[in-house]
Amino acid sequence: MPIKQVNPKGWPDPSGFSHVIVGEGKLVAIAGQIGCDPITEELVSDDFAQQSRQALANVLTALEAAGGKAEHLIRLTWYITDRDAFLRHSAIIEDAHREELGGHSPAMSVVVVAGLLEPRAKVQIEATALIKPGVNTKVTKATKVKAKKKKRSSR
């Protein structure tokens, strides 16, 4: 069974996320990613939108390391420290979401928190992916090099 979006009967269609995702395959859990450059381990900016874009890119790089792609994401949980900044930057965040995920809309939750472990971090994104059976998920050295190059070019 491929990954499928499901909407409860009578509910309006969601915009930019899914209420329910079903499928079968290899489960991939990705730890919370913040908006830091994974090579320098420094935040890319103090700007909420830029941190959001980088955190999302970090999620995808981690997923690629497990042999997955954006289309395999089934759930994103955003932890944010500033609700108003999230709403103020929502158009920019939606653009980043569309560009990074290619129109794929996993189930998503946004949780406002008092703070994150990295004091300057404003967003952390945790993800779950489901890679369907039969997809080659062997991680090679070339895959790792490609991920590093992609990260450097996105700066």
Task: Note down pLDDT in tens along the chain; length 155 residues.
Answer: 677 788 888 888 887 777 787 888 899 999 999 999 999 999 999 999 999 999 999 999 999 999 999 999 999 999 999 999 999 999 999 998 889 898 888 989 999 999 999 999 999 999 999 998 776 655 544 455 455 555 555 55
pLDDT of residue 4: 79
Asked if residues 138 and 106 have their Cβ atoms less than 8 Å apart, the reply is no
30's CB contacts (< 8 A; 6+ apart) are: 59, 62, 63, 66, 126, 127, 128, 129
* 4-149, CATH topology level: 60s Ribosomal Protein L30; Chain: A; (3.30.1330)
- Nearest CA to 3 out of 78, 104, 92 is that of 104
Per DSSP, what are the bridge partners of residue 75? 107, 128
**CA-to-CA separations, 110 to 25, 93, 104, 125, 145, in angstroms, rounded:** 26, 13, 17, 9, 32
Q: Residue 137: its pLDDT value, please?
A: 55
pLDDT value, residue 66: 93
Query: What is the reported pLDDT for 20?
Result: 80
pTM, entire model? 0.78
